[in-house]
Structure 1
């Protein structure tokens, strides 16, 4: 033992070796600092640590970003719908809230906050999810959100082949049965869609419309949803365009709500003039999701790109009047070709199962190129209230399907232009059907006489000589 201890170097020798190594390390560090730029040093060190972590770690990470190749990432969307169903005891935080202002006792709904970790088990695999968020200002100033999925390296192929299809199938079932819908509006400052809960009560059972027209619209919508293979077979984008036109107050917005409630589609309400350019319009429209309604209301008023080009060229005064619709003199605005390109050009194929609805009070102002099939496939005239429409409104507002006054009212409606909105306003005056109907008959007679006087004819007289 004493001989072994005698062979060990002395403390002085060890200190001398340490000093020499330290001096050499300091010399090398100084040389590296002088010869290699600081950014290059950081890059080399980061690559070294990444290599070391990959070699030593047994985990593999999937990144699912919110955007994918200029479009919304459908994988992100299905994960976002799926994960709230996997919230369990191991979840370290929750985002909760309620959208029932009239019923505060309803339990709050659960969602996934940023940096929340969720553990999922699938076929013996342990999977850890995390939602992350960073600020991205590369093209548009907006929040960039993405999911991180961590699993064992050996489970990577199983996750791709069986776990992700399981998520997609589960999420599709959830989205088809979603209880609430959202309506989105575009925030130009943040360059992103802002949403709120959509709870419009209109359905095809409640709107005042001719039964044959209502049945046609419902069958057309159902046929569109069921014909994915047909659209792919004929080489067309899976979308459908509707034009709702007619006087104000004839129920265009209510029909949009009924379509959304019928299909269970979210609504994206777009003001075309909010887009600064064609590129901005493409970014806005490709940010919408599949299985949704893109609504462009009053397209004849929002921007000059929808107007008949011949009329715009002939009427310079109209052109000058529309110039203030531009956002600023520095913004080129949306061109007519830019709008058409998204409706049925190459960009129209960016997304599936979409309904595009235009509304206008003046169809004659629209450029004919907008009106052709492929852009506005179905033109629906929303006219004045008919006898059938009145009966539907009476059943909805008064709870009656027939009354002795109905014959008089229907005769007056045949010769009077009154909108469904005006009829609904009159029927809401009281809960007593008889009083409401008598008041409504007086309203119709006054309105008919006003129209008669405007037309230059004498007012219609009753047998007793009084105005009818």
Structure 2
């Protein structure tokens, strides 16, 4: 075995001959590389060899710090945002991001930031580091996204839009649904028309009706139908008109600006809670609420109208503005005129047609012996689609679920009758 091994080892002369041949080839290759090939081709070949072998011998490592982690703000990203502006001396490009967020003070000191794709050199405990900022547009495929304004950081926070409601699954009166779809499709095809008549390419929708009637689901269906992003703005969190201007100028084309509970703007969050209590007790009418003094620093009606009509709306294209409210009668008439709110959509209580759509969607049934008493009850009592949906999710068994819904509507009707009797007694005593 040992003798066989030693007999296979090449002689010294053979090894020397191989070394001489390799050396000659190397010298010839270098001569061709430096004297025959142009410099650009030479650099290209060298770079390819470097890239090929560097992956096996490179000691570098890349850390990816995303702005969002599991749809919430990544605090490591925030820390990097604060730290990197202190290293502007090490920026590799000749550009610098300059901004100002103080609209009330033009002489305020500007803020400096890092442009996209700019590289910054750094060092930590003798280890060289290189920072690079990448835009999500370069790394994330196009998709619907929902953005909510964060007043703490003065920016829109982005999350993947995961509301699956479409016009196909939306429980809504067919005539109203078809009319809305036609209006949206016509709007999306009329860019040249808006340009010709000198108007901003935008459309305004007002969704009004009791809580739980599907206003948010309708907005989701519009977004999915148009393939638009949604900018969800809680106007109560906006400090003043100047901040509103800053917020709106940060939005993009082909998007929906959603301002919910417009009737509660300037009031505290208890406005919505009061509506729910009123709805449960059936005492919406003849009830007066305390009026509160408006903070002078809050967004004003004039400020809101200026941005719906003014320069902001003229600087964007294919924009839909959606206002929602539980009380249309509380809104200033100036907000309701065409050109601001072009289409008013009443999101009302559940009807027999809407109920059948919900039953088909949640129970996969189109006919049942209990449909008739349910439809009759829905004409006698006010039940929101949200309330009906809650009962339809009790069980996957249609017999059990529809029976529960019948009992729910009967209880609701009994409560309504008792309230009517009590009201008549109080009026008689008065």
In the other structure, the counterpart of 2:155 is: 192
In the other structure, the counterpart of 1:257 is: 220
* CA distance in 2 between partners of 1:357 and 1:133 (Å): 37
Q: Cα 1:96–1:347, aligned 2, differ >3 Å: closer, same or farther?
A: closer
The 5 Å alignment of 1:333-344 reads 333-344=298-309
Kept in 1, the 8 Å contact 2:266–2:298? The answer is: no
Q: Cα 1:318–1:146, aligned 2, differ >3 Å: closer, same or farther?
A: farther
1:259 shift after superposition: 0.9
The 5 Å alignment of 1:159-198 reads 178-179=142-143, 181-198=144-161
1:275 shift after superposition: 2.4
What secondary structure sits across from 1:436 in the alignment? Answer: helix
Kept in 1, the 8 Å contact 2:254–2:318? The answer is: yes
In the other structure, the counterpart of 1:447 is: 412
In the other structure, the counterpart of 2:196 is: 233
What RMSD, in angstroms, separates the aligned Cα atoms of the two structures? 3.7
Q: Cα 1:138–1:342, aligned 2, differ >3 Å: closer, same or farther?
A: closer
Stretches of structure 2 that go unaligned for 5 or more consecutive residues are 1-54, 56-60, 71-79, 82-91, 104-109, 119-136, 268-287, 424-430
* CA distance in 2 between partners of 1:144 and 1:98 (Å): 16
Give CA deviations for 1:147-191 in whole Å, capped at 9, x if unaligned.
Answer: 469xxxxxxxxxxxxxxxxxxxxx9xx99x834x22111122322
Which contiguous aligned blocks of 4+ residues in structure 1 show a shift greater than 4 angstroms? 92-101, 129-138, 140-145, 317-320
Tell me which of the two structures has the higher relative contact order, counting C-alpha pairs closer than 8 angstroms and 6 or more residues apart: 2
* CA distance in 2 between partners of 1:356 and 1:142 (Å): 31
Kept in 2, the 8 Å contact 1:294–1:357? The answer is: yes
Q: Cα 1:189–1:452, aligned 2, differ >3 Å: closer, same or farther?
A: same
* CA distance in 1 between partners of 2:420 and 2:166 (Å): 37
* CA distance in 1 between partners of 2:93 and 2:365 (Å): 55
Residue 399 (str. 1) matches residue 370 (str. 2): no
What secondary structure sits across from 2:160 in the alignment? Answer: strand
In the other structure, the counterpart of 1:46 is: none
Q: Cα 1:318–1:135, aligned 2, differ >3 Å: closer, same or farther?
A: farther
Q: Cα 1:320–1:394, aligned 2, differ >3 Å: closer, same or farther?
A: closer
* CA distance in 1 between partners of 2:168 and 2:97 (Å): 45
The TM-score, its normalising length taken from structure 2, stands at 0.63
Residue 301 (str. 1) matches residue 264 (str. 2): yes
Residue 321 (str. 1) matches residue 292 (str. 2): yes
Q: Cα 1:97–1:189, aligned 2, differ >3 Å: closer, same or farther?
A: closer
* Matched residues, number: 307
Q: Cα 1:442–1:319, aligned 2, differ >3 Å: closer, same or farther?
A: closer
Kept in 2, the 8 Å contact 1:131–1:146? The answer is: no
In the other structure, the counterpart of 2:246 is: 283
* CA distance in 1 between partners of 2:113 and 2:384 (Å): 46
Give CA deviations for 1:184-230 in whole Å, capped at 9, x if unaligned.
Answer: 11122322111112201211112211001011111111111111111
1:401 shift after superposition: 1.4
* CA distance in 2 between partners of 1:98 and 1:270 (Å): 20
Q: Cα 1:402–1:144, aligned 2, differ >3 Å: closer, same or farther?
A: farther
What secondary structure sits across from 2:251 in the alignment? Answer: coil
The partner residue of 2:346 within 381, 403, 407 is 381
In the other structure, the counterpart of 1:292 is: 255
* CA distance in 2 between partners of 1:457 and 1:210 (Å): 34
The TM-score, its normalising length taken from structure 1, stands at 0.58
* CA distance in 2 between partners of 1:302 and 1:377 (Å): 21
Kept in 2, the 8 Å contact 1:132–1:148? The answer is: no
Kept in 2, the 8 Å contact 1:178–1:264? The answer is: no
